[in-house]
Amino acid sequence: MDFEIDEKMSTILTMVNEFVERELVPIEQEMLHGDPETLQALVVAAQAKVRQMGLWAPNHPVDLGGQGLTMVEHGLLSEALGRSPLGHTVFGAQAPDAGNIEILHKYATPEQRDRFLRPLVEGRIRSCFSMTEPETAGSNPVLLAATAVKDGDDYVINGQKWFTSSADGAAFAIVMAVTDPEAPPYQRASMIIVPTDTEGFNLVRNVSVMGHVGSGHASHAEVIYQSCRVPQANLLGPEGGGFVIAQDRLGPGRIHHCMRWLGIASRSFDMMCERANARVISTDGDTLADRQVIQHWVAELDAEIRGARLQTLHAAWMIDRFGAKAARDEISAIKFSVANTMLHAVDTAIQVHGALGVTDDTILSYWYRHERAARIYDGADEVHKTSLGRRILRRYAPAH
């Protein structure tokens, strides 16, 4: 295994890290305490600087103006951007757009590429991914209830979705709905592109998450499709191909998320160590860093983050070398292990910060609220552990 990167990628990562620290960290307080419109203006200004640097949407294929990164490089970029909640958005690499771009690049027709893909890559529009439903178990997507029924040259979509992230202000949704309920379970659903100005696309609300409703890209919407009619030409990929396309989206998406989480863990660790050295706790001038319990926390967390990082880079290397299918076990393992490492890092950093840690004077409480879902979305931890454990045990089962 070789995780070495070339000089060009090394330069890109240096530029990204410096930009995040210099340009984005200072405006996080506007995100935490300020006005959304002011924050948006600051984000747009930062995006303009990124474009001038030639680093807009670097994670996308070369033919879309990106850098054509390997999965290892993609992961390292996501780690650097993940050190600020604004990182991916400012560089045009944010979810759910990044995942939608991947599947549109692979499956979109020429007309779909012109209408939806190119403006999305260029940052002129945003998108959302509409799969999760409130009344069906997200851990078992064959239970999807939303339907898309053919009527003439159209599909008529009916169903309720929620946690459709970033639907607020999005130009289109990629919807997963049942197109043939009589087909084998994993061939029943399809993905369909639905412009959000289509009659019958109803954004009911932005769902409040731990007391925060959010807006724009930073939101999770409940959407009802009510006799929502779109042309059959909006079908993405083959009919019945929804589950295959979803899997294509998930492999690279997990590298994106896990390395982003490691960016969060890394910055939380840095903040924790800085706080431990600065916080005086006795008249003799002792600091938290002088206490053995803190030293143990630092050592243990450092080892945990190092291990999670190597595990994720190995999964990325496996995808690069053998493809996502061959890396199935590695992808499952990083989903639950890295999410827990990140949350452990944030929680420990809060503990070291004391009362300051639970306030919004630092970024830590923001991450504590918004990243708890890491153990749920893209498959709950327990589902991944069960699938991985079952596959491993089958290898040891005696032959019959």
Q: What CATH number did the domain enclosing 53 receive?
A: 1.10.540.10
- Cβ-proximal residues to 24 (8 Å cutoff; 6+ apart), any chain: 46, 84, 86, 87, 90
Rg (CA), the chain: 22
Q: Domain range holding 316?
A: 244-396
Q: What CATH number did the domain enclosing 269 receive?
A: 1.20.140.10
CA separation for the pair 387, 234 (Å, rounded): 33
Q: How far is CA 237 from CA 34, 63, 105, 130, 175, in A?
A: 42, 20, 11, 16, 12
Q: Tell me, yes or no, whether 168 and 231 share the same domain.
A: yes
Question: How much is the pLDDT for 1?
Answer: 77
296-307: burial string, b at 16+ Cβ within 10 Å, e else: ebbeebeebbee
Phi, psi of 122 (to 5 degrees): -75, -10
Q: For residue 59, tell me if it sits in a domain.
A: yes
Contact call for residues 262 and 309 (beta carbons, < 8 A): yes
Q: How far is CA 117 from CA 185, 233, 383, in A?
A: 29, 15, 32
Question: How much is the pLDDT for 248?
Answer: 83
Q: Tell me, yes or no, whether 103 and 141 share the same domain.
A: no
Q: Tell me, yes or no, whether 49 and 138 share the same domain.
A: no
Q: Which residues of the chain have pLDDT under 50?
A: none
Q: Tell me, yes or no, whether 212 and 254 share the same domain.
A: no
Domain count, the chain: 3
Q: Are β-strands 147-151 and 154-165 bridged in parallel, bridged antiparallel, or unpaired?
A: antiparallel
- Cβ-proximal residues to 68 (8 Å cutoff; 6+ apart), any chain: 61, 62
Q: Which of 375, 379, 368, 378 is nearest to 345 (CA)?
A: 368
CA separation for the pair 383, 208 (Å, rounded): 25
Question: How much is the pLDDT for 129?
Answer: 96
CA dihedral 102, 103, 106, 112 (to 10 degrees): -110
CA separation for the pair 43, 90 (Å, rounded): 6
What are the pLDDT digits (tens) for 50-93? 999 999 999 888 999 888 899 999 999 999 999 999 999 999 99
Q: For residue 367, tell me if it sits in a domain.
A: yes
Question: How much is the pLDDT for 377?
Answer: 86
Q: Tell me, yes or no, whether 37 and 13 share the same domain.
A: yes
Which of 201, 236, 271 finishes a domain? 236
Q: What CATH number did the domain enclosing 169 receive?
A: 2.40.110.10
Residue 375 structure tokens:
């153990």
Which of 236, 261, 278 finishes a domain? 236
Contact call for residues 252 and 74 (beta carbons, < 8 A): yes
CA 248, chain centre distance (Å): 15
Q: For residue 2, tell me if it sits in a domain.
A: no
Q: Tell me, yes or no, whether 252 and 377 share the same domain.
A: yes
Question: How much is the pLDDT for 212?
Answer: 87
pTM reported for the whole predicted model: 0.94
Q: For residue 304, tell me if it sits in a domain.
A: yes
Q: Which of 291, 298, 364, 336 is nearest to 83 (CA)?
A: 364
Question: How much is the pLDDT for 194?
Answer: 98
